[in-house]
Amino acid sequence: MAFEKIAFRASETPEAQTTLKDLTARYGDCDLAAADVIVAIGGDGFMLQTLHETLDVNLPIYGINRGTVGFLMNILEENDLPARLAKAETAVIHPLAMKALDVNGNTHKGLAINEVSLLRETRQTAKLRISIDGKVRLEELLCDGALVATPAGSTAYNLSAHGPILPIDARLLALTPISAFRPRRWRGALLSHNAKVRFDVIEAGKRPVSAVADHIEVRNVAQVDIQENRKIKLKLLFDEGHSLDERIISEQFVH
């Protein structure tokens, strides 16, 4: 597919801004409403920000790494950008929808491309009850927190918490504890992408917990519901031979 009209977005770092200036001088900068593709210049955090900010336009996004990690980005090559875009491989990502009820009875909603995580707010361990599709599966988990990750997010916080890496087309979610104290040997679960996950916070007043969906944080939650939203299809572009699927596979063989 030919992408002739490019809308550029860049983070505020000097490296990203310099690259933005160079690329727009060479290829122009199309208005978002008329663009065929978005090129996001920065790191993975900026890619997530761009995905959230451009949900309504439904354009594919090609990332150029001028950040720290760059797992969702491509390497910087200023020559032949249109040709690279035309040959790029597409990964489709479905985000998680979070609905969080706080201790005051207020409802908060958010979308997460990587994961929804619950985190203790104080020195006290969190106490969580976990239900899947309306059935309680774990009556009480004492922990620093827990998270539900998409395949795209399985190599991020989920991997750092010793969760499993999921192929991008696995149609699975990873449910992973964060520093589980009891039951100490529980390592989490693999769930169908259709699963409806509920966390109930036990002793929410004494043991406050936050819920985080990417950049949205809700403090002092009492109950959090999470499920995949398949109506939203986010399209990421990767250089030929360096697809997201290939990156996820390669990550499992890193020494």
Please give the domain boundaries of the chain with CATH numbers for all domains.
6-93+233-251 (3.40.50.10330), 96-228 (2.60.200.30)
Residues 37-41, mean pLDDT to the nearest whole number: 97
Residues 61 and 235 sit within 8 Å (Cβ to Cβ): yes
Closest of 10, 22, 13 to residue 68, by C-alpha: 13
pLDDT higher than 90, residue 68: no
In this predicted model, what pLDDT tens digit does every residue of 235-244 receive, in sequence order? 999 998 888 8
Per-residue confidence (pLDDT) for residue 1, from 0 to 100: 65
C-alpha 90, offset from chain centre: 17
**Rounded Cα–Cα distance for residues 239 and 255 (Å):** 24
Strand partners, 176: 147
Share of the chain above pLDDT 70, in %: 99
- At which residue do the structure tokens 């770092």 appear? 13
Average pLDDT, whole number, for the chain?
93
- The model's confidence at residue 248, banded by pLDDT at 50, 70 and 90, is confident
Q: Region 66-85: what's the mean pLDDT?
A: 88
Tens digits of residue pLDDT in 114-168: 999 999 999 999 999 999 999 999 999 999 999 999 999 999 999 999 999 998 8
- Return the minimum-mean-pLDDT range out of 5-14, 213-222, 234-243: 234-243
- CA torsion, ordered 2, 8, 14, 15, to nearest 10 deg: -10
Mean pLDDT of 78-87: 89
- What six digits make up the tokens of 229? 């939203």
Residue 199 confidence (pLDDT): 98
Mean pLDDT of all residues in 93-118: 97
Q: What is the pLDDT of residue 190?
A: 97
pLDDT at 108 over 60: yes
Would you say the C-alpha torsion 111, 116, 122, 128 has a positive or negative sign?
positive
pLDDT of amino acid 201: 98
Retrieve residue 232's tokens: 């939203």
- Residue 140 has a pLDDT of 97
CA nearest neighbour of 157 among 239, 214, 207: 214
Q: Which residues are catalytic?
A: 44
pLDDT number for residue 94: 94
Q: Which of 19-23, 119-123, 180-184, 245-249 has the lowest mean pLDDT?
A: 245-249
For the ranges 58-72, 73-87, 109-123, the maximum mean pLDDT occurs at 109-123
Predicted confidence (pLDDT) at residue 255 exceeds the cutoff of 70:
no
Is the per-residue pLDDT at 2 higher than 80? no
Q: What was the pLDDT predicted at 242?
A: 84
Which pLDDT score is estimated for 253?
84
